[in-house]
Amino acid sequence: MNTIDTTDPADKDEQGATKRREPRHHQRIRLIVRKVMIRSLSLILLLLTVQIVGAQSGPGILALRNMLDDKNAEIRIKAAEGLARVGGRQAVVMLRHGLSDKDLDVRIAVVKALGFVGGKVALTVLSEALKDKAPEVRLRTVDALKDAGTVNSIPIIQKAFEDKEQAVRMEAALALRKIGHRNGVPVLTNAALNDNSPQVRAAAARHLGKLGVKDPRAGRRPFPNSG
């Protein structure tokens, strides 16, 4: 026998609305849990870094390496930051793996970390990042080369003047200005005379007159916390 549904239509609408609201409530809970997990991870990475610094080897740094393969992009970013604080050749080799990450923000974090570590091996890896498909990564790479702050970065920055994006070439001119070494003179001169962008030519000419004094913003700086 068929039963008659005696539920008030208004009650049905209210129940349906409650069901529709539940996913949003669940989403908020997941967001809170995610934030707690990320903050907890930051603390774990800090503790790992404290244990690793000085040794630059062992299970701690391998844990950071494994985190670079985590499914969560934020965790991969935190791993790059941790490796930056550890420093050393092994950290650079591990960071190189992150240059192929599919996430733009992770690749930016990696080049930023490489710039903080510095050294010839890091510069070599950064030169590879100048070939990244994303202009933002290439621009951040030039900035990272400036952070390395040595004359050895100038030939690599020179390659950035071949970039098709004007913003990247402008950043390269500024980086040479901030490094301030006279070896940047021929590079800036060539850009001032031959770049196809009037803005880049003007910037290069302007920076030429300021070479010879290293900008205090060039070179290694304290690695910032991202929260």
Q: What is the pLDDT of residues 95-117, one digit of tens each?
A: 999 999 999 999 999 999 999 99
Q: Give me the percent of the chain exceeding a pLDDT of 70.
A: 66
The pLDDT, as a whole number, for residue 130 is 97
CA within 13 Å, CB half, 58: 11
Radius of gyration in angstroms for the set of CA atoms belonging to the chain, rounded to a whole number: 25
Q: What is the pLDDT of residues 156-189, one digit of tens each?
A: 999 999 999 999 999 999 999 999 888 999 999 9
The pLDDT mean for the chain works out to 80
**The two structure tokens encoding residue 130:** 């100048």
**CB of 81 within 8 A of CB of 45?**
yes
The pLDDT, as a whole number, for residue 50 is 46
**CB of 99 within 8 A of CB of 107?**
yes
**The two structure tokens encoding residue 83:** 């490796």
CA distance 145 to 20: 51
Which residues, in sequence order, are CB contacts of 64 under 8 Å at separation 6+? 45, 48, 52, 79, 82, 83, 86, 94
CA distance 217 to 150: 12
The pLDDT, as a whole number, for residue 56 is 52
Closest CA to 115 of 3, 223, 5, 227: 223
The residue type found at 185 is V
**The two structure tokens encoding residue 43:** 């603390």
**CB of 99 within 8 A of CB of 113?**
no
Q: Which residue ranges make up each domain of the chain? A: 25-129, 132-221
Query: What phi and psi, each to the nearest 5 degrees, are found at residue 70?
Result: -65, 150
**The two structure tokens encoding residue 143:** 């900035």
Fold of 25-129: Leucine-rich Repeat Variant (1.25.10)
Confidence of residue 64 (pLDDT cuts 50, 70, 90): confident
Confidence of residue 66 (pLDDT cuts 50, 70, 90): confident
**The two structure tokens encoding residue 109:** 């974090």
Which residues, in sequence order, are CB contacts of 1 under 8 Å at separation 6+? none
The pLDDT, as a whole number, for residue 172 is 97
**The two structure tokens encoding residue 161:** 């003047």
Could you tell me the pTM of the whole model? 0.71
Q: Where are the alpha helices (DSSP H) in the chain?
A: 9-52, 59-67, 73-86, 89-98, 104-117, 120-129, 135-148, 154-159, 166-179, 185-194, 198-208
132-221 placed in CATH 1.25.10.10: yes
Same fold, 25-129 and 132-221: yes
